[in-house]
Amino acid sequence: MNENIIEAKYNITKKSKLEVFYNKYKLLIYIVPSIFLILTFCLLFYGNVNEKKKIKLAENYFEAKLYIQNNENEKANDILKKIIFANDNTYSTLALFLVINENLVKDKTELSNLFDHVLENNNFKDEMKNLILFKRALIKSSFENELEMLKAINPLTKSDNVWKPHALLLMGDYFFSKNEFVKSKEFYTQILLLKNIQESFYYEANSRLALIENEK
**Predicted confidence (pLDDT) at residue 15 exceeds the cutoff of 70:** no
Q: Report pLDDT digits (tens) over 23-69.
A: 554 444 445 454 554 555 445 445 555 777 888 888 899 999 999 99
Question: What was the pLDDT predicted at 29?
Answer: 44
Question: What was the pLDDT predicted at 52?
Answer: 77
Q: Report pLDDT digits (tens) over 162-214.
A: 999 999 999 999 999 999 999 999 999 999 999 989 999 999 999 999 999 88
What's the pTM value of the predicted model, to 2 decimals?
0.72
Q: Report pLDDT digits (tens) over 114-126.
A: 999 999 998 888 8
**Predicted confidence (pLDDT) at residue 215 exceeds the cutoff of 70:** yes
Q: Three-state SS across the chain?
A: CHHHHHHHHHHHHHHHHHHHHHHHHHHHHHHHHHHHHHHHHHHHHHHHHHHHHHHHHHHHHHHHHHHHHCCCHHHHHHHHHHHHCCCCHHHHHHHHHHHHHCCCCCCHHHHHHHHHHHHHHCCCCHHHHHHHHHHHHHHHCCCCCHHHHHHHHHHHHCCCCCCHHHHHHHHHHHHHHCCCHHHHHHHHHHHHCCCCCCHHHHHHHHHHHHHHHHHC
Question: What was the pLDDT predicted at 132?
Answer: 92
